[in-house]
Structure 1
Amino acid sequence: MLAPSPTLPEEFRPLRVDEYHQLIELGVFEGTKVELVGGVLVEMSPQGPAHFGLIPYLNHLLVSLVGDDYTVSPQGPVIADEISEPEPDFAILTKRDTRRTGKPTDALLVIEVSNSSLRFDLGEKARRYAGAGFGEYWVIDVQDRSIHVHRGPRPDGTWTAVETVREGELQAVAVPPLHLDVGDLLDF
């Protein structure tokens, strides 16, 4: 498991996923939208028009491209480690029955649509997703109209390759049938 963020005080005691679930069951977060990342509760920003507009479009696109061989999980939680259960905009999973197995722990590709949370998405979330061994991580940067593509996760929370794509064809390595035209996707 990755340690909590190095910017936190040494005395910091992270909230664990099992404790987070107990608090959810007690209704502690009723009326709020939070996610657990690195042992810290992070309040999620409301979606702006560009972010919200991309979600249904991207959902339809992903489902049609990956077909029946994979599961597209929109805006659902994934367990990255003992102290992180973020809720990415999309997770592409192996085809399995998540109703019986609970929350995914083996995402092949995680996608965040980012507007106001770009620094966090490219920082601590990228670190957590790499540490979890998720095969690939894309951050769609709404302001810059680009996709930050992370590949080759390492257990220390880093990626072997990170590139920013603004045009051309983007092929998901972790999910082979997923390939899209970046210019078309970012034309909003």
Structure 2
Amino acid sequence: MITVTTPAPPVRELPEAFRPLRSVEFQRLVDLGLFEGTHVELVGGVLVEMSPQGPLHNTVLRRMNRVLVLAAGDAFEVGVQVPLDVDDITLPEPDFTIVPAGRFTDRHPDAAVLIVEVAVTSGRFDLGEKARRYGAAGFGEYWVVDLDRRCVHVHRDPSPDGWGSVVRHTAGELAATAVPGLVIDVADVLSVAG
């Protein structure tokens, strides 16, 4: 007789003795192929499973990629869903990172001037825990293209507690502070959401 057991739900509240997984440990597990067939990232020492991309998310990624790469020029590089070394327990894969041009063959970038997340179902997490960690790490600017709320949340003035400024844009032009020439038409980007 075969007994099928249902896996227990994940922990809802972490005990005080919780020890987070560190970025270097996570990277070793990735290198060993432990996560083959799944898409996870490390945020705050916890493995977070990423949602599969739907056509809407993918369309916005392609549209944003074209604009970001053209604006980046030779001074910057655009990373698309690649790891960003945020802190010793956070190694996420934002939709886009703009980093100073350089060689990253032995480590992941840790100095982004702009991070962009495209949120279809992940808005709460992107605007919550990820935003807090990106701000505390001192990254210059963070945009969340929120397709559900039809706006772009622009985070500026990073601080240890998160961000000093968060502004919602629903239309008009939006210029990045650290990337000369990077301007998006907010309404155009959001128009794919219907």
Structure 2 length-normalised TM: 0.89
Alignment correspondent of 1:4: none
What is the correspondence of 1:1-188 to structure 2 with a 5 Å cutoff?
8-99=14-105, 101-156=106-161, 158-188=162-192
Q: Secondary structure at the match of 1:98?
A: coil
Residue 149 of structure 2: SS of its match in structure 1?
A: coil
- Structure 2 Cα separation of the partners of residues 129 and 174 of structure 1: 16
SS at match of 1:110: strand
Shift of 1:8: 3.6
Task: Specify the code of the residue in structure 1 equivalent to 2:138.
Answer: G
Structure 2 SS opposite 1:138? strand
1:130, distance to aligned residue in structure 2 (A): 0.7
How much does 1:21 deviate?
1.2
Fraction of identical pairs, as percent: 54
Aligned length: 180
Structure 1-normalised TM-score? Answer: 0.91
Question: What amino acid is aligned across from residue 141 of structure 1 in structure 2?
Answer: D
Cα distance, 1:180 vs structure 2: 1.5
What residue ranges of structure 2 are gaps of 5+ in the alignment? Answer: 1-12
In structure 1, list runs of 5 or more residues that go unmatched: 1-6
CA contact (8 A) 1:109 1:174 kept: yes
Distance 1:177 1:11 in 2: 48
Inter-partner Cα distance in structure 2 for 1:16 and 1:48: 30
What residue is the counterpart of 1:3 in the other structure?
none
Residues 4-60 of structure 1 deviation map (CA, whole Å, 9 limit, x = unaligned): xxx643221100001101111222111110000000000000112110111122111
Deviations, residues 54-78 of structure 1 (Å, cap 9, x unaligned): 1122111111122222111111110
Shift of 1:90: 0.1
Q: Deviations over 1:126-183 (max 9, x none)?
A: 0111111110000000112210100011123x10000110101101112232112111
